[in-house]
Amino acid sequence: MGTNTETPTPRAPEVPRPGAGALRVILWLIFVGVIYVYGWQVTQINLGELGRKAYLIKPLANDLIRPDLIERRPRLQVADAGIGLDGAAAPAPLETRGPGRITLSPTQAAIGARVTVSGEDFAPSRPVDIIWFDQSGVKVQLTKASTDASGRFQAAVTVPNVIGTMHHIMAEVGLEGTTLGPSNALRLTLFRMVETVFLALMGTTMGVVLAVPLSFLGAKNLMARNPIGVFVYYVIRTVFNIARSIEPLILATVFAVWVGIGPFAGVLALGIHSIASLGKLYSEQIESIDPGPIEAITATGASMLQVVRYAVVPQIVPPFIAFTIYRWDINVRMSTVIGFVGGGGLGFLLMQYINLLQWKQAATAVWAITLVVAAMDYLSAVVREKVV
Amino acid sequence: MRGAAVRIENLTKIYPDGTRALNGVSFSVAPGEFLIIIGLSGSGKSTLMRCINRLVDPTSGKIFVDEVEVTALPPDGLRRVRRQIGMIFQQFNLVKRSPVITNVLSGRLGYVPPAWSLYNYFPRSLREQAVAHLATVGIPEKAHTRADQLSGGQQQRVGIARALMQDPKLILADEPVASLDPATSHSVLRYVEELNRRDGITVMCSLHFLSLARRYGTRLIALKAGEIAFEGLPAEIDEQRFKEIFGEEAVEVEIA
């Protein structure tokens, strides 16, 4: 630099008056102290309650380590026969389990009529439940019987007062012993688990598909070339910021009112939030790309689209994938709780079990949530390592 | 092949913040010349280079490339002129994540149908040409390496191959060796010199170093604060003259 002849005279550092600094520190400490004392009161912190009321949490804690996974069920032989009312033809028989068969006489009847149920080829000397299986799926026990030494039985029943014309009569013959199988809670949980994973998938996909084009409109370096572009940029960014500041749980509440309680409301809530979050991240990524290649490709006489394809896209695709996986992670987590406000998935099931005080079943759902989140965490880590 | 002629008339560029980067610059470049533009940082060299292919739009003045007034062209015509002007950058400006061959082929984008670009399609003949250009700059074996795996000198040679892909009449080299060590600088400039001598491509090259300027240029322009401070043969400017133009402080940094 220029001829540096004058050396700056070092100035004496300012010495604060003793005591002034200390007083300020004390005032600050008092101020902070007041804030925390008020905070302690207003949030009703009471550590003693944790010990005194431990008995309330005990059943839940106990059930958490004993989730409802399997159940014992009676072993049954089942046979079915259709019956037509009011002149309708008898429908074809449905479920059968085991070798037994039943026949009805007559196979067409009216409400209040007597029908004879004859069974054969069942297990000998076992109790039989004769059940009316309604058109709408409701099962009502009509009578009991038992099989004779050769596995036959006969019983007379009265057609109950039902709606519709095509019904079934079933015979359930109880065998000795029981079978182990997945519990109803487990089966429901697995079903909801799949729903949860797909809820996150659809929400994330909706976010990506819309955020990618919008993010280009929200990138200042691409848009700030003319007044219209600047206007679009500000509109897009404002929409992103507003949409992003609304929690998915609140969005899910709104959409549950709009499209009804269920996974679709959850997809919309996660989707909208993902558009905004991903859009902002994508836009910022586009803004931070190296302008050098853009300049170089422009200088070759390439068109605007070619510049984007050759200078912009190669710089943004890997980070876009990383952001998308990150969002997928968040959405899986989110989709497990979004059910609490009507967004479907595992959360919906968990809330039902908690409201019914079915702690063992709730425990099943809680474990499923943990499992899904951990598995998706692991999966996304693997994918990220491979792709980015 | 015949190089392009360049004529610059009264070129002025004032940036929106009020910086006057170029102030009434006029000069001509004959076909086949190797013109060196020398000057300190901020003297307007880069702005001058970028005005010629209108990466920067000048505030006033006219630029003619082969008697086509670049400064008056609509976007379509501008692209047709740009594709004949190769440009080499100080920071190489390669797409770092893309393979070398894609970087070289991107020099051809101004000629190929735009629809091809969506699929990154280039016909075999162009691919072979790209490899041939890489061979010209001595790195044919790097065609399928990612650009950011190359050394600085190799990256700049990819930059030259990309410019060659344009079949340029004119090469603008903006501080092409400022990021390279002296030995590599010479090897890069020798490739540019070869294109100038063998194919007759007009070269405009801005440089920091007087020694390099005197070694490679057929003519030299010195820019100072956006104005031409010297114009003549490289042999006419020695250290004494250089100091007169740029002042004492330029010596250590600029003449190494």
DSSP characters over A216-227: HHT-HHHHTTSH
Residue A359 in domain: yes
> In a mutagenesis test of the B interface, which of A1, A300, A315, A321 is the best target, namely the one with the most B β-carbons within 10 Å?
A300
Residue B89 in domain: no
Residue B193 CB partners (closer than 8 Å, separation 6+): B34, B216
CATH number at residue A102: 2.60.40
Predicted local distance difference test score (pLDDT) of residue B170:
95
Residue A94 in domain: yes
Residue B186 CB partners (closer than 8 Å, separation 6+): B212
Residue A119: beta bridge partners? A102, A153
Residue A40 in domain: no
Domain that residue A213 falls in: 185-387
Please indicate, yes or no, whether residues A238 and A339 belong to a single structural domain of this protein: yes
Predicted local distance difference test score (pLDDT) of residue B252:
42
Please report, for residues A308, A321, A374, A378, the alpha-carbon distance to residue A384 in angstroms, rounded to integers and kept in the order given.
Answer: 25, 8, 15, 10
Residues 288-327 of A with CB under 8 A from B: 290, 292-293, 295-303, 305-306, 309-311, 314-315, 318
Report H helices in A300-345: 304-307, 313-337
Residue A384 pLDDT exceeds 80: no
CA–CA separation, A376 vs A330, rounded Å? Answer: 10
Domain that residue B80 falls in: 1-84+174-191+203-256
List, as one string, the DSSP characters of A165-220: SEEEEEEEEEEEEEEEEE-HHHHHHHHHHHHHHHHHHHHHHHHHHHHHHHHHHT-H
Please indicate, yes or no, whether residues B58 and B180 belong to a single structural domain of this protein: yes
List, for residues A230-242, the tens digit of each pLDDT value. 999 999 999 999 9
Please indicate, yes or no, whether residues B67 and B182 belong to a single structural domain of this protein: yes
Please indicate, yes or no, whether residues A109 and A192 belong to a single structural domain of this protein: no
At B141, list the tokens: 């074996």
Please indicate, yes or no, whether residues B216 and B160 belong to a single structural domain of this protein: no
Distance of residue A25 Cα from the nearest chain B Cα, in angstroms: 45
**Chain A contacts of B102, Cβ < 8 Å?**
310
At A119, list the tokens: 């069974």
- What is the average pLDDT across A212-228? 85
| Total count of domains within chain B | 2
**In which order are the strands placed within the sheet that holds B170-174?**
B85-88, B170-174, B202-207, B34-38, B219-224, B227-232
**Chain B contacts of A292, Cβ < 8 Å?**
89, 91-93
Residue A209 in domain: yes
A270, A200 in Cβ contact below 8 A?
A: yes
Residue B31 DSSP one-character state: T
Please indicate, yes or no, whether residues A271 and A375 belong to a single structural domain of this protein: yes
Residue A184 pLDDT exceeds 80: yes
Partner residue facing A2 (CB), from B85, B118, B249: B249
Q: How confident is the model at residue A4 (pLDDT cuts 50, 70, 90)?
A: very low
Residue A11 in domain: no
- The answer to whether the CB atoms of B80 and A301 lie below 8 A apart is yes
CATH number at residue A356: 1.10.3720.10
Q: What is the bridge-based pairing of β-strands B20-29 and B6-14?
A: antiparallel
Please indicate, yes or no, whether residues A266 and A138 belong to a single structural domain of this protein: no
**Chain B contacts of A297, Cβ < 8 Å?**
95, 106, 109
Predicted local distance difference test score (pLDDT) of residue A356:
87
Please indicate, yes or no, whether residues A306 and A176 belong to a single structural domain of this protein: no
Predicted local distance difference test score (pLDDT) of residue A13:
56
Partner residue facing A315 (CB), from B86, B95, B106: B95
Q: What chain A residue is nearest to B116 in terms of C-alpha separation?
A: A306
Please report, for residues A280, B1, B44, B170, the alpha-carbon distance to residue B33 in angstroms, rounded to integers and kept in the order given.
Answer: 49, 13, 21, 10
Q: In the listed set A125, A157, A182, which residue is the last one of a domain according to the structure?
A: A182
pTM above 0.80, yes or no: no
| Total count of domains within chain A | 2
CB-based contact (8 Å) between B117 and chain A?
yes
Residue A339 DSSP one-character state: G
CA–CA separation, B251 vs B164, rounded Å? Answer: 35
Residue A242 in domain: yes
Please indicate, yes or no, whether residues B246 and B129 belong to a single structural domain of this protein: no
Q: In the listed set A182, A216, A251, which residue is the last one of a domain according to the structure?
A: A182
Residue A249 in domain: yes
CB-count burial class (<10 Å; 0-12, 13-18, 19+) for A8? exposed
CA–CA separation, B71 vs B55, rounded Å? Answer: 11
Residues in chain B, total: 256
Distance of residue B146 Cα from the nearest chain A Cα, in angstroms: 12
**How do the pLDDT tens digits run along chain B, 256 residues long?**
578 899 999 999 999 988 899 999 999 999 999 999 988 888 889 999 999 999 999 999 999 999 899 999 998 899 999 999 999 999 999 998 889 999 999 999 999 998 888 888 899 999 999 999 999 888 999 999 999 999 999 999 999 999 999 999 999 999 998 888 888 888 889 999 999 999 999 999 998 788 888 889 999 999 988 999 889 888 888 777 777 777 765 654 444 4
Please indicate, yes or no, whether residues A254 and A375 belong to a single structural domain of this protein: yes
Tokens 């009316």 correspond to what residue? A132
- The answer to whether the CB atoms of B162 and A292 lie below 8 A apart is no
Q: What is the bridge-based pairing of β-strands B60-65 and B219-224?
A: unpaired
Of A327, A332, A321, the C-alpha closest to A385 is A321
Please indicate, yes or no, whether residues A231 and A155 belong to a single structural domain of this protein: no
Please indicate, yes or no, whether residues B178 and B80 belong to a single structural domain of this protein: yes
CATH number at residue B216: 3.40.50.300
Of B31, B90, B6, B37, the C-alpha closest to B213 is B37
B255, B239 in Cβ contact below 8 A?
A: yes
Q: In the listed set A132, A151, A182, which residue is the last one of a domain according to the structure?
A: A182
Report H helices in chain B: 45-52, 75-82, 100-105, 114-118, 124-136, 152-164, 182-199, 210-216, 239-246, 250-254
Q: ipTM of the assembly?
A: 0.91
CA–CA separation, B184 vs B162, rounded Å? Answer: 18
Please indicate, yes or no, whether residues B76 and B187 belong to a single structural domain of this protein: yes
Please indicate, yes or no, whether residues B163 and B178 belong to a single structural domain of this protein: no
Predicted local distance difference test score (pLDDT) of residue B248:
66
At B79, list the tokens: 């692209």
Residue B198 in domain: no
Question: Angle at CA B118, nearest 5°, toward B117 and B120?
Answer: 55
At A219, list the tokens: 């990138």
Partner residue facing A301 (CB), from B83, B96, B98: B83
Long-range contacts from B122-130, C-beta under 8 angstroms, 24+ separation: B126/B165, B127/B101, B129/B165, B130/B101, B130/B104, B130/B105, B130/B161, B130/B165
Please indicate, yes or no, whether residues B20 and B135 belong to a single structural domain of this protein: no
Residue A61 in domain: no
Residue B196 in domain: no
- The answer to whether the CB atoms of A310 and B106 lie below 8 A apart is yes
- The answer to whether the CB atoms of B118 and A303 lie below 8 A apart is no
Please indicate, yes or no, whether residues B80 and B124 belong to a single structural domain of this protein: no
Please indicate, yes or no, whether residues B1 and B80 belong to a single structural domain of this protein: yes
